[in-house]
Amino acid sequence: MPHDTPLIATIAAGLGLAFLLGLIAHRLKVSPLVGYLLAGIAVGPFTPGFVADQGMANQLSEIGVILLMFGVGLHFSLKDLLSVRHIAIPGALVQMATATAMGFGLGHVFGWDWKASLVFGLALSVASTVVLLRALQDRRIMETERGRIAVGWLIVEDLAMVLALVLLPVLAATGANAASGAGQALGLTLAKMVGFVVFMLVVGKRVIPMVLHYVAHTGSRELFRLAVLAIALGVAFSAASLFGVSFALGAFFAGMILAESQLSQRAAAETLPLRDAFAVLFFVSVGMLFDPLVVTEQPLQLLGTVAVIVVGKSIIAFVLIRAFGHTTKTALTVSASLAQIGEFSFILAALGVSLAILPPEGRDLILAASIISIMLNPLVFGALGPFIATPAVSVPQVEETQPDTDLVPTAKSAHSIVVGHGRVGKALAAGLTAAGEAVLVVDTSADRIREVLADGTEGLVGIASDPAVLQAAGIGRARHLFVAIPNSFEAGQVVEQARAANADLDIVARAHSDEEVLYLQKHGANGIVMGERELARGMLDHALTPEIFHEAAAGAAGSGERMGPRASVGVGVEG
């Protein structure tokens, strides 16, 4: 296997093949994750042809894990984490202990000693951060009670695995000092964890938002994006280097601290493209570890390992969640999310082999079972779809009831749908409401939709190009659709899906160039406002009819607004 493969070749081959196979998987109605894993197998050392650099791919994928956990933290408050502690802490610990015992028994059947069996069982007990979060995001349940339980469960598992990695070298040692060494290592690690949490709550809570607000006031989008990335990666690296906490956990706390800032949604938007790209590289790097010979050389051992991960862990989690009084739907969702293993399992297996605790065939079984469990995870969710889906409802839920999905179908008809609640969409929705129009707002930001709901307007969290989101918004019964998002490509996808669902719908979108106008018209928009042109027209009004402009400006100042006499002038503003 060559070790001098240039970085650009690894990235180009990994992303290029992942795109191609992911697209094919999507066309075949299979999760794109399967395509990404197959791309990794294709560029890995166990298949002929080009071989990417495994070390580089692993390091790049770490960035994806950091950015992903940072993004989750941006939508996850400390209150959310504490709200599920009563089930997440005991549930995760009991599930890990039981799954470890099952893996331990399997290792004993394979003829390994107790140390190897213990490491093997631990590796099977912890779920992959990336896979779990992608599963929750794809099914729009990240910010529901089910999602919070799954994320809280994941955080407890990550903390437990940090302790396990610290204690593993002590386990490899022999002699009378082993027990005292284990106690010292455990105490030091716990002290570092507590120190990190205290540091983030006391220092990070003040410094991180202050730095980001300062950078935002510079007006430089480039500096703001750079500041967000520096905070996410810097805190993750510092957490690992100074406190012994994992990169993922450090990034999660950084995002959670920043979530209380008004700039959290902008920070999430700035990291989204890089997060998705590097997350794909994570799956490619996992695929590169897969040796197909394991399937033929150890089929029964592999089958038993996969059964523990996919069946055993799921049953344990299901029973525990039901025992805590949660619904079957919640139990099925969380147990399906945990029916796979990933990055921590690889780290534990590699460390176990390097310390001569785990035999190499144990590592190969863990890697192969990980690939298979990740590939099976979308199929597991698909099979459980009818049981975990939320039935359509036509009336609002009472406030005391926890919604178990982000999508609650509206009962509105002959209404206006506003896509995007930035500065343009916010002003547009307010104007429509003031005019007596029935309004429903769709935005990807849960915080923005909370603002919408607080104002008494109905809203949905979601990507408006998703047909399920449009259906929940009542697209077939709506009169108007206003696409207020600034990205013309995304707007075109929304317009196309909306036009396919309602041929008579009045669709108005925003554009910034003649090319975007033509693009949106081609996809079905029958009304397009070009922001720059309307800005120029507003300035021209000011120059040619200053008395009208100043009268309108004075009226806006009295009402606290900052818009000129033309409402459409604001359409050109980004946001």
Q: Along the 575 residues of the chain, how does pLDDT read in single tens digits? A: 444 557 788 888 889 999 999 899 888 877 787 888 889 889 988 888 888 887 878 788 888 778 877 877 776 677 777 888 899 899 999 999 999 999 999 999 999 999 999 999 999 999 987 788 878 877 777 767 788 888 889 888 888 887 887 778 777 765 445 556 666 767 777 788 888 888 888 888 888 888 888 888 887 888 888 988 898 899 889 888 888 777 878 888 888 888 777 777 677 777 777 877 888 888 888 888 888 888 888 899 999 999 999 999 999 999 999 999 888 888 898 899 899 987 788 888 888 888 889 998 898 899 889 888 988 888 888 787 666 654 433 333 333 334 444 467 888 889 999 998 888 889 999 999 999 899 999 987 777 888 888 888 899 887 788 888 899 999 999 999 999 988 777 888 899 999 999 999 999 998 888 888 888 888 889 988 887 777 788 788 777 776 655 555 555 444 444 444 343 333 333 33
Q: Tell the burial category of 410 from Cβ atoms under 10 Å away from its Cβ (0-12, 13-18, 19+).
A: buried
CA distance 453 to 460: 9
Count Cβ atoms below 10 Å from residue 35 Cβ, excluding itself.
25
> Is residue 1 within 8 Å of residue 45, measured between CB atoms?
yes
Residues 6 or more apart in contact with residue 208 via CB below 8 angstroms: 231, 235, 254, 257, 258, 261
CA distance 531 to 520: 14
Nearest CA-CA partner of 419 in 443, 438, 451: 443
∠ CA 249-238-228 to the nearest 5 degrees?
Answer: 75
Nearest CA-CA partner of 11 in 65, 63, 64, 56: 56
Count Cβ atoms below 10 Å from residue 114 Cβ, excluding itself.
10
Taking the CA atoms of 161, 164, 169 and 171 in sequence, report the sign of the dihedral they define: negative
Nearest CA-CA partner of 290 in 38, 23, 22: 38
